[in-house]
Structure 1
């Protein structure tokens, strides 16, 4: 009987590992885009160091945007009574690697405690009642972990083989996130926006601001120096950055207000979506051919 139970446990673990590996392979092959059950999910790949083995282990994990340079992951294990292996690993070695689909970076894992954990948990449950369902299945307090990006002192590590591909990869990440926010806005009911939805919007706005600032300071001068004929297109792109920045300010203001009108916030998101998609498409049409060609 013990041998039979051990074999059943091994079979279950193998099925889980096989499933995770399929998700990992699809995630990496498609720069974070997934199909099926996870098509509309926010997922990242978390690589930890085995607490017993010292070897790297990669696991697909759902995450919550949290503004700034950190995201939150929840060690639910589907409501199991034991913590997931990745959580045990990062408790032993808190430096981890995060793959977002568009970027890969090192991060420091910090387990939230006290009021900070309660606020983050409340946001998660408000956004998806499934987290509360997992908590009801177990007596352990499900941990919430913040993954703080570790600055590398240089440009971000984009999961792309060329500058031209990098533009498309980063743009597609913004498109996916904005599509998720639009869906969440549509699904939101009640007189105000949920706390996590507010954070999602503000995190997106911050990321877009950083991206456009980086283009203005580095990418556009690089292109202009090597392809002077691109001057008119770059001037238009800079003007579009200014217009989009105004729309971003409007959205930030809308979702930050204590008495946020969800309808007004949805309208701001729609305006931003239309302008941003047109901008991203034009930038790809103008810059990708130049970056793919010799100076």
Structure 2
């Protein structure tokens, strides 16, 4: 594909991604996608590229420099080798990250997880005639990431929708896993545990920061805030049950727990939006 065509395609994806906070259609529909901004190795100019990613725990994600199976590494990979600090846009959040190329067994295990979720990665590797790099993007500590929203109320909805989308992806993956195997794939387990950790952090942040802020300014909201705190405890218990289910390696049990968490979490998120967004945006 000519460079001009690739650039036009990427720009269309970038615009759609930003307009819909991470959701895109067409070729990338249903994919986990970020916008990765690197600094040009030769020019020093910033370049933004849509890149698929894999969840990989609390503080990092993985990106794969496949270039669609091309024989050369993509430009963004050369850029981050020269300038490891990059900007990541997830749709809900924008944050700075440090790029680290995985080596040896760590790289091979990560790539095997990717192949387990999508055989296309193996096809890219075979076609490329090179070892396709896997890069970890470590979020740089320095305060909370920037939420891509124009108000506090909108920020709540943006973050909630990100959780909804990730849980929807996990449910789809869980359904495929249940139909095709008798154990949970390694990457699916990582996806679930990463989601659980992110949800825990979000609710902890609300309990320690948002709820005291609202209670101080809106005393009449005390019953609502108390209910939300109790729901956080209930959801935390469901998350622990999901963790235990993942440990059993039984996809049917894990799927049942994901469905239960989905139902309870959606009710919680909807109630919180209905009652807190008007207060935050008042």
Report the TM-score range of the alignment, normalised by the length of the smaller protein.
over 0.9
Structure 1: where are the runs of 5+ without partners? Answer: 1-8
Secondary structure of 1:101 counterpart:
coil
How is 1:1-295 mapped onto 2 (pairs within 5 angstroms)? 12-152=2-142, 154-188=143-177, 189-257=180-248, 260-293=249-282
Tell me how far 1:155 sits from its aligned partner. 2.9
Q: CA deviation at 1:139?
A: 1.4
Q: Distance in 2 between matches of 1:256 and 1:65?
A: 18
Show CA shifts across 1:102-160 (max 9, x none): 000000000000110011011111111000000110211000000000011x2331111
Counterpart-to-counterpart distance in 2, 1:125 and 1:254: 24
- Which consecutive aligned stretches of 4+ in structure 1 deviate over 2 angstroms post-superposition? none
Moved more, 266-275 or 26-35: 26-35
> 1:40-97, CA deviations, whole angstroms, 9 ceiling, x for partnerless residues?
0000000000001000000000000000200000000010001000001001110000
> Scaled by the length of structure 1, what TM-score is found?
0.94
Give me the CA root mean square deviation: 0.9
Supply the distance in 2 between the matched residues of 1:243 and 1:37 (Cα, whole angstroms). Answer: 38
Say which SS state the counterpart of residue 207 (structure 1) adopts. helix
Give the number of equivalent residue pairs: 280
Q: Aligned partners of 1:36, 1:137: CA distance in 2, in Å?
A: 24
Structure 2 residues without counterparts, runs of 5 or longer = none
**How many Å separate the matches in 1 of 2:92 and 2:59?**
15
Deviation at 1:35, TM superposition (A): 1.9
TM-score of the superposed pair, with normalisation by structure 2? 0.98
Q: Secondary structure at the match of 1:52?
A: coil
